[in-house]
Chain A
Amino acid sequence: MTHPYRNLPAYTRWSLAVAEPAYPEVNPVVGFPFKVGPQDKVATAGSCFAQHIARRLKASGYNYFVAEPGHPLAQESLAERYNYRVFSARYANLYTTRQLVQLIERAYGERQPLADHWELPNGRFVDPLRPTIEPNGFSSLAELEADRRQHLASVRRMFEELDVFVFTLGLTEAWVDNVDGTVFPVCPGVAGGNFDPDRHIFHNFGIGEVVEDLRVAIGRILAVNPSARFILTVSPVPLIATAEDRHVLVSTTYSKSVLRVACDEIARAFPERVGYFPSYEIIMGTFNRGRYFAPDLRSVTEEGVSHVMRIFMETVSTGGANELPPPPQTDDVEAALSRLEEAQRVVCEEELLELARKQEASTGLN
Chain B
Amino acid sequence: MEMTLQQPFYKRLAAGDWLFAALIIAAAGYSFSLYGSAMDYYEQLILAGSSVSLIALGWFWKSWRWFFPLAGAMSLLAIQLYDHDLARAGQSFGLKFLLSSQTAFMWMCTLFYLATVVYWGGLIARSALLARIGSGLTWSAAAFALSGLFTRWYESYLIAPDVGRIPVSNLYEVFILFCLITALMYLYYEAKFATRQLGAFVLLVISAAVGFILWYTFDRQAHQIQPLIPALQSWWMKIHVPANFVGYGAFSLSAMLGVAQLLARRGILADKLPKPEVIDEMMYKAISVGFLFFTIATILGAMWAADAWGGYWSWDPKETWALIVWLNYAAWLHVRLVKGWRGEPLAWWAVIGLLVTTFAFIGVNMFLTGLHSYGSL
- The answer on A and B forming one complex is no
Q: Which residues of A contact B (CB under 8 A)?
A: none
Q: Which residues of B does A touch, CB under 8 Å?
A: none
